[in-house]
């Protein structure tokens, strides 16, 4: 589906400038049967006809609900993990020749209403990547249900990641993201973790390739049905981030070249 966004024209406009854009919303899903419909209903009308849900071997009927809502559904025969799910999501979006890809969790933890705004920022050429920023004040985050230990880890790790990587990202660990087609065509995300560490690796790679990253504010929503990782998995997730940043630093110092930081069309040179 081609969506007319009727955006303005600026002299610094990127190659993505167009009056009509192919925007694909991808949903990595696992047991999202209780929240999928609410998430889908909140999407802007213009984006509802081009939604791809990748089901990671759910046991609660998520694929059936998605089909009833009219979504395109891709089903994994076995659980590949959060990162593995995203790999399929982005491969499907590229098959559809998407200009902008919005990754939205179907667990209603993120505000789907801002997806069009995120896409517009990319089409304007202001950003290559737009993130949903859940953290504006401590009070808002905690009142939204974010556990105190998660808030502490989020703020601490985001501070040091920004410091080391030279960014000013508000929420390094958000699951609401929008990408330009060029981002997915450049980053070798297929090499990333199949678990939750995928997201951190992807952002570090994006910074290495010089993509412009921005964010938009979204409310914090933590509740029983929303997906979340426990403390032990959060620790493993953190180690993946440290490893990725360490590789980034080594590569930046020209001490070693990693495949993860080599554009897709250049990886053969290292093989």
Quick: pLDDT tens for 8-19.
433 334 444 444
Q: What average pLDDT score do residues 114-141 get?
A: 91
Does residue 206 register a pLDDT over 80? yes
**Distance from chain centroid for Cα 128:** 12
Q: What is the pLDDT of residue 236?
A: 74
Cβ contact 124:10 at 8 Å: yes
Banded pLDDT at 5 (limits 50, 70, 90): very low
Q: What is the pLDDT of residue 140?
A: 75
- Total number of domains in the chain: 1
Q: What average pLDDT score do residues 63-91 get?
A: 97
Copy the structure tokens of residue 169. Answer: 């990202």
Q: What is the pLDDT of residue 33?
A: 94
- Residue 27: domain span: 3-263
Banded pLDDT at 134 (limits 50, 70, 90): confident
User: Higher pLDDT residue, 269 or 174?
Assistant: 174
C-alpha distances out from residue 188 to 56, 88, 264, Å: 21, 13, 5
User: Residue 16: which of 172, 266, 184, 176 has the closest Cα?
Assistant: 184
Q: Assign residue 35 a region: left if phi > 0, alpha if psi is -120 to 50, beta otherwise?
A: alpha
Q: What is the pLDDT of residue 158?
A: 87
The CATH number that applies at residue 58 is 3.90.550.10
C-alpha distances out from residue 251 to 186, 198, 248, 255, Å: 17, 19, 5, 6
Q: What average pLDDT score do residues 68-79 get?
A: 97
C-alpha distances out from residue 100 to 6, 120, 126, 254, Å: 15, 9, 13, 32
User: Which phi and psi (to 5°) does residue 102 adopt?
Assistant: -110, 125
Q: What average pLDDT score do residues 98-104 get?
A: 97
Residue 100 resides in a domain:
yes
Residue 183 resides in a domain:
yes
Does residue 196 register a pLDDT over 60? yes
Residue 268 resides in a domain:
no
Residue 193 resides in a domain:
yes
Q: What average pLDDT score do residues 189-205 get?
A: 94
What is the spatial distance between Cα 189 and Cα 187, in angstroms, rounded to a whole number?
A: 5
Residue 28 resides in a domain:
yes
């Amino acid at each position: 589906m081609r969506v007319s966004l009727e955006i303005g024209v600026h002299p610094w406009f990127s190659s993505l400038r167009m009056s009509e854009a192919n925007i694909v919303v991808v949903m990595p899903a696992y047991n999202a049967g209780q929240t999928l419909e609410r998430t889908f209903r909140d999407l802007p009308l213009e984006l509802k006809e081009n939604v791809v849900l990748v089901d990671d071997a759910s046991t609660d009927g998520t694929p059936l609900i998605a089909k009833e809502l009219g979504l395109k559904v891709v089903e994994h025969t076995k659980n590949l993990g959060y990162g593995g799910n995203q790999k399929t999501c982005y491969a499907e979006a590229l098959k559809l020749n998407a200009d902008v890809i919005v990754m939205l969790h179907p667990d209603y933890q993120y505000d789907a209403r801002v997806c069009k705004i995120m896409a517009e920022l990319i089409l304007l050429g202001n950003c290559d990547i737009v993130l949903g920023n859940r953290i504006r004040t401590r009070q808002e985050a905690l009142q939204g249900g974010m556990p105190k230990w998660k808030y502490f880890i989020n703020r601490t790790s985001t501070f040091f990641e920004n410091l080391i990587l030279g960014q000013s990202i508000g929420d390094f660990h958000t699951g609401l993201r929008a990408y330009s087609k060029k981002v997915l065509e450049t980053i070798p995300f297929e090499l990333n973790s199949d678990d939750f560490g995928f997201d951190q690796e992807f952002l570090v790679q994006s910074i290495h390739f010089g993509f412009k990253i921005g964010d938009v504010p979204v409310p914090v929503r933590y509740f029983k049905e929303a997906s979340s990782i426990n403390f032990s998995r959060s620790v493993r997730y953190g180690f993946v981030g440290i490893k990725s940043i360490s590789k980034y630093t080594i590569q930046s110092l020209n001490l070693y070249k990693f495949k993860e930081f080599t554009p897709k069309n250049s990886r053969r040179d290292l093989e």
